[in-house]
Amino acid sequence: MKVGIDARAAIWYRGTGIGTYTYQLIRSLYELKAPGLEYRYFWPGDEYKDLDIRNDSVFNSIEKSKDKFWEEVHIPARLCDENIDIYHVPQNGIGLPVSKQCPVVVTIHDLIPYVYPETVGRGYLKVFLAQMPEIVEKADKIITVSKCSKRDIERILNVPAEKIAITYEAPEPIYKPMDRSISKKLAAEKYGLHKDYILYIGGFSPRKNVKGLISAFKDILPDLKRDVQLALVGKQAREFNELLVLIDALGIEDKVIWTGFAEVEDLPYLYSGAEVFVYPSVYEGFGLPPLEAMACGTPTITTTTSSIPEVVGRSALLVNPFDASQLAEALYKVLTDENLRQGLSEKGLKRAGRFTWRKTAEGTLEIYRELAGIKSYQAKIC
């Protein structure tokens, strides 16, 4: 059986949930070396050489051209030429071939454009809403990353439950407890975090609720008996100015450090050096950052909504993201109770260890094998 995978997100969206998923999936599938399976990872140009999978026979490089050529010309031709039995599009099915040469798998990570459309860029919102009904219709199997997302796909897109499979995401192998003194030194020298710090890593869309975190941080400052910084890690986004206005209005500009983009290899050190990691998001399809923090042994506070409790279980403090007082109370407790911090650290490490990319790959492989019984479209179309 030959499986083709659209590999573009592995580099294009590296550092996002979809990018991490694609990168780790193609790497883990390749490392499984399942007998009877061959893979072709499709990629425009030769940027795939930046990946640490260096087997050119696995990658099928396609010349760069206008976007529509990918779906309308290049991929349909390659699927036929390579005799591909199953084709998998990991980035929400966006980029699915116009014509269908073989059974198709798509991974739909979440339905944020339907659930919180106001938090999504206009261009992506338009494409997602226009294409998703056809994507779910064409797909022979839909993979999603949580029970929460599965329920949304069933309810919003009216997809039968049996058409949807769940394979959980996982922390990448680099996320593990790092030496704390080395971590704090890197945080200070490279990111300006010279004091104990509360950490947030993630995007700055309104659904991430960073405003709620900033307000809760301000609320606990008068009661803390030590000097603590709030570290916001991530690229400046369109919400950047709104957050700066709030920080200035609260008079805490000297206590909030906006680090900007952090290299992926630095993130385990930033997690390990933090007093606590806070992820106050209102909605996630999966929510990797809390699991990454827990894999580093960092006490974690997150929320009771969407997929997050499903992922972190009872190994993090969970708060209502719409109640700023709950978040402030949880922050204060973790910062002032060493026993609580230690307990959360130990439970978090154990919980994070239950998720691995190998399990994700094995679950995906089962789906490919299930679809292998579907009669090929190739004799009819190619």
Span 65-74, pLDDT tens digits: 555 677 777 8
Give the gyration radius of the chain's Cα atoms. Answer: 22
| pLDDT, the chain, mean | 91
Task: Output the six-digit token pair for 382.
Answer: 């190619």
Asked if residues 290 and 352 have their Cβ atoms less than 8 Å apart, the reply is no
Collapse the DSSP code of 26 into the 3-class scheme (helix H, G, I; strand E, B; otherwise coil) and give the result: helix
pLDDT of residue 45: 75
Q: What is the pLDDT of residue 95?
A: 87
pLDDT at 377 over 70: no
Q: Are 188 and 308 in contact (CB under 8 A)?
A: no
pLDDT at 200: 98
How does residue 374 score in pLDDT terms, banded at 50, 70 and 90? low
Give residue 63's pLDDT.
67
The predicted model gives 168-180 an average pLDDT of 97
Tell me the per-residue pLDDT of 215-240, one tens digit each, with 9 for 90 and over.
999 999 999 988 999 999 988 777 78
Predicted confidence at residue 104, as pLDDT, reads: 95
With 0-12 / 13-18 / 19 or more C-beta atoms within 10 angstroms meaning exposed / middle / buried, residue 356 is: middle
CB atoms near residue 223 (< 10 Å): 10
Asked if residue 213 has pLDDT above 60, the reply is yes
Where b means 16+ CB within 10 Å and e means fewer, 10-47 reads bbebeebbbbbbbbbbbbbbbeeebeebebbbbbbeee
What is the structure's pLDDT at 322? 92
Which helix or strand (DSSP H or E) is residue 319 part of? strand 317-319
Q: Are strands 300-303 and 276-278 parallel, antiparallel or unpaired?
A: parallel
Q: How confident is the model at residue 379 (pLDDT cuts 50, 70, 90)?
A: very low
- The more confidently predicted of residues 213 and 261 is 213
Lowest mean pLDDT across 77-81, 125-129, 190-194, 339-343: 77-81
Element (H, E) at 291: helix 288-295
Query: Could you tell me which of 66, 92, 95 has the C-alpha nearest to residue 79?
Result: 95
| Nearest Cα to Cα of residue 149 among 325, 10, 307 | 307
* 3-state secondary structure at position 280: coil
Q: Which of 314, 247, 302, 303 is nearest to 278 (CA)?
A: 302
Q: What's the per-residue H, E or C state across 55-105?
A: CCCCEEEECCCCHHHHHHHHHHHHHHHCCCCEEEECCCCCCCCCCCCCCEE
CA distance linking residue 205 with residue 297, whole number of Å: 26
For residue 378, what pLDDT band results from cuts at 50, 70 and 90? Answer: very low
Question: At what angle are helices 288-295 and 338-352 packed, to 10 degrees?
Answer: 110
Q: Delineate the domains of the chain, giving CATH numbers in brackets.
A: 2-170+357-381 (3.40.50.2000), 180-352 (3.40.50.2000)
